């Protein structure tokens, strides 16, 4: 199956680009983007994914405002033109690779967008992310991330938001590999050891002269299976910030973070501390398709040219009960303090999940919350 991408010298195997080197049904290739201002009033998430083995492509645009999620979901049969990423009225144009994107959503069920992304710093290649259940690989992914600004406009039910790059920023990433997608597979033998919980932290932020990308995952015991903390300077320098010590600040009686203190280490061994405030909690598993979202599963075949709009009231008990058991994105505001006392202000995303056991946090069963 030869496609336009085969015209370019990008092959990594003796196969057409359309054919992955693995036959694993969970192979995926996806973009994630978020956009927000600095008030916490609004948080926008956009995603487009391709699932070659399943023959599906899909996309979504999710708007978080107050206690409401408004989502447009789109799905279709995958075609051969991956150089022009689009699912129905949603499209991503790579205007300048690794620097600028143009994202459009033609008016669909009351939502529309015309947004341009500009990276503030070079992209960061994250560490390869590998997870297993017993002997089976459940996630094997590569990703790059970037912090930047947005400009353009967003319209929701007749109200148009002027997206000004002076105040609107966000994070985007591209990831590909293997992760659970599409319809559920037969369960088979129960996992051994059983799944006991998840603790996850992802903090990409923009400061005046550097970008930060922090990604950490820990097992219930606190054993760290993924540790990547990188800052990239405007002059192109890339600096690893060691093995950060993290103290999440939870609202009493919940696992809802209000922020965090992160103690990292500069390349010269000196301490670097980030004090972060988190606001505008946006659960990605309520209409965004992440983490077992029962309403929108990435890669699921919905039929050709599928379009739907779904509204979620986050105060509805049927919805609110799901919120603690998934990954939640926040608008993050940070102050970075260097060893010499220099302070820098930053903005970006604070993404966290903590459910089930995480003994370093004092959560010893699924019902434990912060005191």
| Burial track 160-191 (b if 16+ CB lie within 10 A, e otherwise) | ebebeeeebbbbbbbbbbbbbbbeeeeeeeee
Find all residues with CB under 8 Å of 7, minimum gap 6, and list them: none
**Residue 65 token pair:** 């405002």
CA angle 235, 241, 245 (to 5 degrees): 150
| Burial track 76-94 (b if 16+ CB lie within 10 A, e otherwise) | bebeeebeebbbbbbbbee
Position 337 confidence tier, pLDDT thresholds 50, 70, 90 = very high
> Which helix (H) or strand (E) covers residue 262, if one does?
strand 257-265
What does the pLDDT read at residue 122? 97
CA 166 to CA 87: how far, in whole Å?
Answer: 30
Task: Assign 244 to helix, strand or coil.
Answer: coil
Find all residues with CB under 8 Å of 225, minimum gap 6, and list them: 131, 217, 218, 219
Whether residue 371 is predicted with pLDDT greater than 90 in this model: the reply is yes
Cα 4–chain centre separation: 29
Find all residues with CB under 8 Å of 282, minimum gap 6, and list them: 43, 45, 62, 64, 69, 328, 329, 330
Provide the mean pLDDT of the chain: 95
> Which helix (H) or strand (E) covers residue 318, if one does?
helix 317-320
- Pairing label, strands 169-178, 27-36: antiparallel
Average pLDDT over residues 167-178: 96
pLDDT tens digits, residue range 235-290? 999 999 999 999 999 999 999 999 999 999 999 999 999 999 999 999 999 999 99
Whether residue 363 is predicted with pLDDT greater than 90 in this model: the reply is yes
Position 194 confidence tier, pLDDT thresholds 50, 70, 90 = confident
CA 355 to CA 367: how far, in whole Å?
Answer: 9
Q: For residue 323, which phi and psi values (nearest 5 degrees)? A: -60, -40
Average pLDDT over residues 211-224: 97
Q: What is this structure's pTM?
A: 0.95
Average pLDDT over residues 155-180: 96
CA 33 to CA 44: how far, in whole Å?
Answer: 8
**Residue 228 token pair:** 């990547």
**Residue 106 token pair:** 């033609």
DSSP 144-204: EEEEEEEEEEEEETTEEEEE-TTT-EEEEEEEEEE---SSPPP--SPPSSPP-EEEEEEEE
Find all residues with CB under 8 Å of 96, minimum gap 6, and list them: none
What does the pLDDT read at residue 192? 80
pLDDT tens digits, residue range 127-165? 999 998 888 889 999 999 999 999 999 999 999 999 999
Whether residue 292 is predicted with pLDDT greater than 90 in this model: the reply is no
Q: Would you kindly state where each structural domain of the chain is located, as residue ranges?
A: 29-176+196-361
What does the pLDDT read at residue 291? 86
Whether residue 185 is predicted with pLDDT greater than 90 in this model: the reply is no
Q: Tokens 């950490």 sit at which residue?
A: 216
Average pLDDT over residues 79-106: 95
Whether residue 184 is predicted with pLDDT greater than 90 in this model: the reply is no
């Amino acid at each position: 199956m030869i496609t336009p991408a085969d015209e370019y010298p990008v092959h990594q195997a003796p196969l057409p680009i359309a054919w992955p080197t693995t036959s694993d049904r969970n192979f995926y290739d996806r973009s994630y983007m978020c956009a927000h201002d600095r008030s916490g009033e609004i948080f926008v998430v956009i995603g487009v994914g391709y699932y070659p083995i399943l023959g599906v492509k899909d996309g979504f645009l999710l708007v978080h405002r107050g206690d409401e999620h408004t989502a447009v979901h789109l799905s279709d049969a995958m075609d051969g033109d991956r150089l022009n990423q689009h699912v129905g009225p949603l499209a991503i144009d790579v205007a300048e690779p690794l620097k600028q994107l143009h994202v459009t959503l033609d008016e669909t069920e009351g939502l529309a967008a015309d947004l341009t992304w500009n990276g503030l710093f070079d992209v960061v290649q994250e560490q390869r992310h590998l997870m297993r259940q017993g002997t089976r690989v459940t996630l094997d992914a590569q990703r790059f991330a970037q912090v930047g600004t947005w400009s353009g406009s967003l319209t929701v039910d007749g109200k148009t938001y002027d997206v000004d790059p002076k105040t609107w920023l966000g994070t985007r990433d591209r990831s590909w590999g293997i992760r659970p997608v599409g319809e559920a597979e037969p369960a088979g033998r129960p996992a051994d050891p059983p799944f006991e919980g998840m603790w996850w932290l992802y903090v990409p932020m923009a400061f005046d002269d550097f970008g930060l990308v922090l990604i950490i995952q820990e097992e219930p015991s606190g054993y760290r299976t993924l540790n990547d903390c990188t800052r990239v300077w405007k002059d192109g320098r890339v600096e690893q910030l060691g093995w950060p010590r993290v103290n999440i600040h939870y609202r009493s009686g919940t696992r809802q973070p209000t922020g965090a203190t992160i103690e990292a280490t500069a390349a010269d061994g000196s301490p670097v501390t980030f004090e972060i405030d988190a606001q505008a909690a946006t659960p990605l598993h309520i209409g965004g398709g992440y983490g077992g979202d029962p309403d929108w599963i990435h890669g699921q075949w919905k039929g050709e040219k599928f379009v739907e709009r779904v509204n979620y009231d986050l105060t509805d008990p049927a919805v609110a009960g799901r919120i603690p058991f998934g990954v939640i994105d926040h608008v993050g505001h940070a102050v970075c303090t260097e060893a010499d006392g220099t302070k820098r202000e930053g903005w970006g995303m604070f993404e966290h999940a903590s459910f089930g056991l995480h003994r370093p946090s004092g959560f010893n069963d699924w019902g434990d919350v912060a005191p």
